[in-house]
Structure 1
């Protein structure tokens, strides 16, 4: 089982959403290689999923696992903000743990 299950609701026609997707992918590949499940949901293609998740603004990142669920809404291009939202307080410590 993966340690992180994340959903990212975006509109691929929005530069803010595209930036959020790129930033999140870079973070996950760097800090959690192979240790996550990421669902990218374009609200234009899947409005039903956005409604079901009660998405009010985009981009919205939902950390589904580990519990409790956490939501980040808005500008997700700042790495420290996204890392904090994912519940990662000390990234350097986490990386050293993975090396051992």
Structure 2
């Protein structure tokens, strides 16, 4: 049964096969560093991580191991909160958008 396929049996019309869909759409995620250009990286370290390059690298390393957008977003929210970074700040929005695009582009 394909996702959202109609069946000749009306009882079957309400069943959705998600197993095949999830397995078919899983892909290898690009590395976060490959999505961030050197100028952005420098700016993120300065504006979001108080010029602490090792903190930035440790956080990126942590994010690389997360394979789910929801969990990634929660980690980013927690990190911004602990650093007192306004999530609406331009750099924070760009950083979050890059991570979002990692999963959905």
TM-score, with normalisation over the residues of structure 1? 0.30
Q: Name the structure with the higher helix share.
A: 2
Which is bigger in relative contact order (C-alpha 8 A, separation at least 6)? 1
Q: Which has the larger radius of gyration?
A: 2
TM-score, with normalisation over the residues of structure 2? 0.29
Q: Name the structure with the higher strand share.
A: 1
